[in-house]
């Protein structure tokens, strides 16, 4: 299965937490609750499906998953 890169546009992100709920292995919110962190900027296997799900559920389209 192909790998994918995961990026977050921090200028657009509102830190809703949807992505961290759907894909906690990939995304986390900092302790202040103000910044989304990408824990795994390169994913493979079943994590690709989680990343794509998070991308689809982002209310402001701040997440971009690119297949390599």
Start-to-end C-alpha separation, the chain: 10
Which CATH class, in words, describes the domain spanning 4-67? alpha beta
pTM over 0.85: yes
Please say if the pLDDT value at position 1 is more than 90: no
Length of the chain, in residues: 68
What pLDDT does residue 28 have?
98
pLDDT in tens, 12-67: 999 999 999 999 999 999 999 999 999 999 999 999 999 999 999 999 999 999 99
What pLDDT does residue 2 have?
65
Residue-wise burial string across 10-26, b where 16 or more C-beta atoms lie within 10 A, e elsewhere: eeebebeebbbebbeeb
């Amino acid at each position: 299965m192909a790998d994918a890169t995961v990026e977050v546009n921090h200028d657009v992100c509102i830190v809703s937490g949807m992505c961290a709920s759907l894909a906690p292995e990939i995304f986390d919110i900092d302790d202040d609750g103000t910044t989304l962190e990408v824990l795994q900027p390169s994913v493979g296997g079943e994590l690709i499906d989680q990343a794509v799900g998070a991308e689809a559920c982002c209310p402001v389209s701040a997440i971009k998953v690119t297949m390599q």
